[in-house]
Amino acid sequence: MFSVRLQRLFRHTLLVSALTFAAQAADAFPLSVYYDQIHSGFVDWSWAAHDLNQKAVRHNGTAAISFEPDAWKALFLHRNGNLNVADYVAVEFWIHGGPNGGQSLRIRGAQGGDPLGIGAPLAGFIPGGAVPAGQWVRVQVPLSAIGLTSGTFDGLWLQDDSGGDQAPVFVDDIELLSPPLTSVYDDQLRNTFVDWSWADHDLNQTAVVHNGRTAISFNPDNWEALFFHRDAGLIDTTDFSGVSLCVHGGSKGGQKLRFALLNVGTVVASAPLDHFLGVVPAGRWACANIPFNYFLGSVLP
């Protein structure tokens, strides 16, 4: 059996929410392509008129992208290094059509500077079927819908699909989404995980919540632990990239904790949580991704 344990270790209540296993290969957590600036090895190969640092129309943060989708030109974000299609399921971003909206766009994947296939009209993935006027809307485009079903890619195009002259469009918060997550706790324990905790805890507290209706509170004292065990067979770590969770340090923060993975009751890998999170914050939530490849020196099942 494969279990998860958060153990000890400092007084004051800690709150935990959104505990999940992330599926597929290591490093397959959502990959930021653009948030205020380009990230994750991506560079700007666009040939449409554009601005990666415009500040007048933003979804989040301090900047967003504006570009003019005219005459088949494109916003083109290229990555210096291949990405495996198997590690990602979709590209997600937010789009704003300016005062009029309705721009005709096509989304495509690329490899080595060249498009991979014909891509797909963006309108088919936008709620309402058109780039909206005067507001932001979130768009998720499955990679399979633009012909990325296997192999590698290293770029994304958002291209004019009219051949004419169109008004500027705004784009923000671009991410490549990893495969679906397997939830351990999301308002309640899920996927056959059961509560073996021996710390003082509450799986249903509602006073401080990250998402949903409830979160977990527990007192990490005297080496005691929040411990979730799964009865329904082993979890193969080759099928998952890691564990993600969000914690809130209550009014004081600074709790010292250790994250552990267990197999049939025996710890097979562990590390201080602050290696992935930093200091547990006071008065707010912070989220950590704990990749299994961090524990390559351990004997994982």
Residues 192 and 164 in one domain: no
**Which of 162, 177, 192 represents a domain boundary (last residue)?**
177
Residues 138 and 89 in one domain: yes
In a domain, 288, yes or no: yes
Q: In whole numbers, what is the pLDDT of the chain averaged over residues?
A: 85
Query: Which positions ≥6 away from 61 have C-beta within 8 Å?
Result: 35, 36, 172, 173
Residues 231 and 109 in one domain: no
Residues 171 and 44 in one domain: yes
Residues 19 and 37 in one domain: no
Residues 21 and 35 in one domain: no
- Tracing tokens 């400092």 back to the chain, one arrives at 10
Question: What pLDDT was estimated at residue 246?
Answer: 87
Interval 214-226 mean pLDDT: 91
Burial category of 103 from C-beta neighbours within 10 Å (exposed 0-12, middle 13-18, buried 19 and up): buried
Structural domains of the chain, count? 2
Question: What pLDDT was estimated at residue 118?
Answer: 94
- Which tokens is 133 given? 């006027």
pTM of the predicted protein model: 0.57
Residues 169 and 212 in one domain: no
The domain that holds 147 is classified in CATH as 2.60.120.430
**Whether pLDDT at 84 is above 60:** yes
Are 290 and 259 in contact by the 8 Å Cβ rule? The answer is yes
Boundaries of domain holding 101: 31-177
Are 88 and 28 in contact by the 8 Å Cβ rule? The answer is yes
Residues 254 and 156 in one domain: no
Q: Which residue has the higher pLDDT, 225 or 73?
A: 73
**Which of 177, 195, 210 represents a domain boundary (last residue)?**
177
Q: Which residue has the higher pLDDT, 245 or 30?
A: 245
Residues 58 and 163 in one domain: yes
d(CA 248, CA 147): 41
d(CA 142, CA 160): 20
Residues 145 and 49 in one domain: yes
Residues 284 and 200 in one domain: yes
Residues 168 and 195 in one domain: no
- Which tokens is 267 given? 């710890």
Are 88 and 176 in contact by the 8 Å Cβ rule? The answer is yes
- Tracing tokens 């007192």 back to the chain, one arrives at 219
Lowest mean pLDDT among 17-31, 93-107, 183-197: 17-31
**Whether pLDDT at 8 is above 50:** no
Task: Give the single-character DSSP code of 238.
Answer: G
**Whether pLDDT at 1 is above 50:** no
Tens of pLDDT, residue by residue over 147-206, are 898 899 999 999 999 999 999 999 999 999 877 667 888 888 888 889 999 999 999 999
Kindly report the number of other CB atoms within 10 A of residue 189's CB atom. 18
Q: Which residue has the higher pLDDT, 107 or 1?
A: 107
